[in-house]
Amino acid sequence: MSVKLNIAEFARRRKELIAMMEPNSIAIVATAEEKIRSRDTHYHFRPDSDFYYLSGFVEPGAVLVLVPGREHGEFVMFVRERDREKEIWDGYRQGPEGVLANYGAEDAFPIDDIDEILPGLLEGRERVYYSLGRDPDFDRRVMGWINTLRAKERSGAIPPGELLDLDHYLHDMRLFKSAAEVKLMRTAGQIAADAHVRAMRAAKPGLYEYQLQAEIEHEFARQGARFPAYATIVGSGANGCILHYIENESRLEKGDLVLIDAGCEYQMYAADITRTFPASGKFTDAQRRIYDLVLASQLAAIAEIKPGNHWDAPHAAAVRVLTQGLVELGILTGDVEQLIEEGGYREFYMHRTGHWLGIDVHDVGDYKVAGNWRILEPGMYMTVEPGLYISPDNTEVAEQWRGIGIRIEDDVLVTAEGCEVLTGGVPKTADAIEALMAGE
Ligand code: GLY
Ligand code: MN
Ligand code: MN
- Residue of 129, 59, 137, 55 whose CA lies nearest to 91: 59
In total, the chain counts a number of residues equal to 440
Per-residue model confidence (pLDDT) at position 440: 86
Distance, CA of 152 to CA of 85 (rounded, Å): 39
Rounded to the nearest whole angstrom, what is the distance from the C-alpha of residue 219 to the centroid of ligand 3?
20
- The ligand with the least distance to the CA atom of 354 is 3
- Number of neighbours of residue 137 by Cβ within 10 angstroms: 8
For residues 30-54, b (16+ Cβ closer than 10 Å) or e, as one string? bbbeeeeeeeeeeeeebbbbbbbbb
Q: How far is CA 384 from CA 11, 341, 353, 374, in A?
A: 32, 21, 5, 16
Contact status, residue 383 vs residue 354, Cβ threshold 8 Å: yes
Ligand 1, residue 355: give the atom nearest the CA.
Answer: 5
Per-residue model confidence (pLDDT) at position 2: 61
Rounded to the nearest whole angstrom, what is the distance from the C-alpha of residue 261 to the centroid of ligand 1?
7
At 112-141, the pLDDT tens digits run 999 999 999 999 999 999 998 889 999 999
Choose one of 272, 411, 412 to mutate for the ligand 1 pocket test, by most ligand atoms within 8 angstroms of C-beta.
272
Rounded to the nearest whole angstrom, what is the distance from the C-alpha of residue 148 to the centroid of ligand 3?
44
Ligand 1 atom 5: the closest Cα is on which residue? 362
Ligand 1, residue 229: give the atom nearest the CA.
Answer: 1
Task: Return the percentage of the chain with pLDDT > 90, whole number.
Answer: 95
- Name all residues whose Cβ lies below 6 A of ligand 1: 230, 261, 272, 355, 361, 385, 409
Q: How far is CA 21 from the centre of its chain?
A: 26
Ligand 1, residue 385: give the atom nearest the CA.
Answer: 4
Rounded to the nearest whole angstrom, what is the distance from the C-alpha of residue 178 to the centroid of ligand 2?
23
Ligand 1 atom 3: the closest Cα is on which residue? 272
- Number of neighbours of residue 337 by Cβ within 10 angstroms: 10
Contact status, residue 122 vs residue 128, Cβ threshold 8 Å: yes
Q: How far is CA 6 from the centre of its chain?
A: 21
- Residue of 164, 175, 62, 158 whose CA lies nearest to 119: 158
Region(s) of the chain under CATH 3.40.350.10: 7-174
Instruction: Give pTM, 2 decimals.
Output: 0.96
Distance, CA of 437 to CA of 280 (rounded, Å): 8
At 229-245, the pLDDT tens digits run 999 999 999 999 999 99
Task: Return the active site residues.
Answer: 40, 244, 261, 272, 351, 355, 362, 385, 389, 407, 409
Ligand 1, residue 274: give the atom nearest the CA.
Answer: 4
Can you identify the CATH homologous superfamily of domain 176-437?
Answer: Creatinase/methionine aminopeptidase superfamily (3.90.230.10)
- Residue of 220, 185, 184 whose CA lies nearest to 199: 220
Rounded to the nearest whole angstrom, what is the distance from the C-alpha of residue 130 to the centroid of ligand 1?
28
Ligand 1, residue 230: give the atom nearest the CA.
Answer: 1
Distance, CA of 35 to CA of 254 (rounded, Å): 41
Per-residue model confidence (pLDDT) at position 326: 98
Per-residue model confidence (pLDDT) at position 153: 87
Rounded to the nearest whole angstrom, what is the distance from the C-alpha of residue 168 to the centroid of ligand 1?
24
Can you identify the CATH homologous superfamily of domain 7-174?
Answer: Creatinase/prolidase N-terminal domain (3.40.350.10)
The Cβ-side half-sphere exposure at 27, using a 13 Å CA radius, reads 28
**Span 408-430, mean pLDDT?**
98
Contact status, residue 322 vs residue 388, Cβ threshold 8 Å: yes
At 15-61, the pLDDT tens digits run 999 999 999 999 999 999 999 999 999 999 999 999 999 999 999 99
At 183-225, the pLDDT tens digits run 999 999 999 999 999 999 999 999 999 999 999 999 999 999 9
Region(s) of the chain under CATH 3.90.230.10: 176-437
